[in-house]
Structure 1
């Protein structure tokens, strides 16, 4: 999943306000952020290298350390300790770990292939990005709609009144995520727009993904807490 993981952070932040939305957002996408880091240091090389040639179905990467099953034990413990230390709360640490576990579970249904530990070990995910990318995107879309509907319903019941612009800003990010995934599901931007081969130095795949993910984290961290502001502040 791309955007769908972030919806879990919104729900957790709603239920456990003693934590921080930024911590929950990072926990919800920890494995993907680790993947980018491991790519940069050469442990999880990702192809194609050019973002203009990339589609969800042709992207290949052995996510040995970031997404395979056995390393999850370490990442669960890591995010638990970060939450416990930062917020002086065992509960927040446990909730952060639950978000990490949730990422792994959701990737089972919509994501790249994952294994127990290494490509030669049994698969522990459906790997629909490679085998049926449109089903994977449909799963993410349905999940995002369901969780966002629950999020806004719970807020209304708690008396949280958001402006229509604020709701649209939040929902719009997830619409962007789904539309973006559909646009690169099986056809690259180079194919779609008939772009010739060139290298401007900023069309590398992973740096572009890093900018996208961090942008989405900062975007949600800015707009989600703004429910109490007057509509004129937008």
Structure 2
């Protein structure tokens, strides 16, 4: 899952307008933001197996620190607490904390049974939608479109940047996704891990876009 996580961020932004879209990108993608570094450190492991699934060549061998349900619940508690202490916005902190484990729930739909519930000898779950590429594309694009519709109808641009940056961001996300879906798989795990670090750029872009937009009725 990739676009769908951003769809959740877009969709939940109107629930707490004070929370930046960049923060919600950080929360919904926290598992995938941490995972590449854990790969580089040798803490978590993946194998690249072209043809493993129609929509993914990745065999996730070991990744409970970033992708187990327990880890994401704890990460949500941590990120939400940090946000609340810094921003003094505890309703926003609750939202931030809750959307972190939404990553696991969406991944559950697409992954084969490789998602752990906790560290150690955990059962592994996954419904395997990645075995069906058209269905995967429909779900990803559909979730992004729904979230974007919710965000676009509840915010307005403050300036020219806010008008065009949003659609530039969306095109950027779609381009990344389509490149990964239809392009060749990474040649090795190191290349995968380093290239995945670019996901942090989407968080920065989320802050930039949101700074140039405002909730409907709050533009002055």
Q: Does the TM-score normalized on the shorter chain lie above 0.5? A: yes
Question: How far has the Cα of 1:100 moved from its partner?
Answer: 0.5
1:21 lines up with 2:17 in the alignment = no
**CA-to-partner distance for each residue in 1:152-204, whole Å, 9 max, x for gaps?**
1223xxx65776634431331232143223314xx5377xxxxxxxx9xxx71
Displacement of 1:45: 1.8
- SS state at 2:126 partner: coil
Identify, as 1 or 2, the structure richer in strand. 2
Residue 80 of structure 2 contacts residue 97 of structure 2 at CA under 8 Å; is this kept in 1?
yes
Kindly state the Cα deviation for residue 105 of structure 1 after the two structures are TM-superposed: 1.5
Give the TM-score taking structure 1 as reference length. Answer: 0.73
The structure showing larger relative contact order (alpha-carbon pairs under 8 Å, at least 6 residues apart) is 2
CA contact (8 A) 1:170 1:224 kept: no
- Which residue of structure 2 lines up, in the alignment, with residue 215 of structure 1? 201
Question: Is the contact made by 1:137 and 1:181 (CA closer than 8 Å) also made in structure 2?
Answer: no
Gap change, CA 1:93 and 1:165, over 3 Å in 2: closer
Could you tell me which residue of structure 1 aligns to residue 115 of structure 2?
114
TM-score with structure 2 length normalisation?
Answer: 0.77
Distance 1:207 1:6, change over 3 A: same
Per-residue CA deviation, residues 191-233 of structure 1 (Å, 9 max, x unaligned), is xxxxxxxx9xxx711010112x0122222322343247xxxxx
Q: Are the counterparts in 2 of residues 68 and 117 from structure 1 also a CA contact under 8 Å?
A: yes
Whole-Å Cα distance in 1 between the matches of residues 20 and 167 of structure 2? 22
Q: Any unmatched runs of 5+ in structure 2?
A: 215-220
SS in 2 for 1:188: coil
Offset, 1:119: 8.5
For structure 1, the 5+ residue unaligned runs are 50-54, 191-198, 229-234
Cα RMSD, aligned residues only:
3.1
Closer, same or farther: CA 189–48 of 1 in aligned 2, 3 Å = closer
Distance 1:13 1:142 in 2: 17
* CA offset digits 1:4-33 (Å, max 9, x no partner): 212322333333233333322211111111
Q: Is the 8 A contact 2:8 2:143 kept in 1?
A: no
> Contact conserved, 2:80 with 2:96, CA < 8 A, in 1?
yes
CA contact (8 A) 2:69 2:101 kept: no
2:182 corresponds in structure 1 to 183
How many residues get paired? 207
